[in-house]
Amino acid sequence: MIGLDTNLLVRFLTQDDPAQAAIARQIFEHRLTTRNPGYVSLVVIVETAWVLTGPYRLTGAQLADAIERLLQIATVRVQEEQAVFTALSLARDGRGDFADALISSLAVRAGCRHVLTFDRKAARLPGFELAG
């Protein structure tokens, strides 16, 4: 496997820098294979979400579409893929951001009854409960 960093994913998804986007596209289309796939960690997924919704100003639905495209690439392995997919579904409807939805999804998968938070927006997601 080959680890993939946030900046490579962002260039591949946004195609905003012609030179780097061409390299990223070449990696995804020719270097990664099912025998030698790319690996995307949860940290990279969350960083990518932060970059795309922050500086790039993607909406929750646009972000979900972008990350879902990554999940559909046969030559890419995403850590905790099912939790990421669940988080996309939660974030797509706008009740919370992707990172909060992923926190909830991972906690549920780990057997937690709920996640305590002070964040009122996160508390609108299933699996969260306001502290205090």
Using the 8-state DSSP alphabet, how is residue 79 labeled?
T
| Domains detected in the chain | 2-130 (3.40.50)
Both tokens assigned to 116: 């305590």
Q: Read off the pTM.
A: 0.88
Q: Does residue 10 contact residue 51 with C-beta atoms inside 8 Å?
A: yes
pLDDT of residue 124: 87
Both tokens assigned to 54: 């922050």
Residue 63 has pLDDT above 80, yes or no: yes
Residue range 81-120, pLDDT digits in tens: 999 998 988 888 777 789 999 999 999 899 999 999 999 9
Question: Where do the H-state alpha helices sit in 3-131?
Answer: 6-14, 18-26, 42-53, 60-71, 81-92, 98-109
SS3 category, 61: helix
Residue range 27-47, pLDDT digits in tens: 999 999 999 999 999 999 999
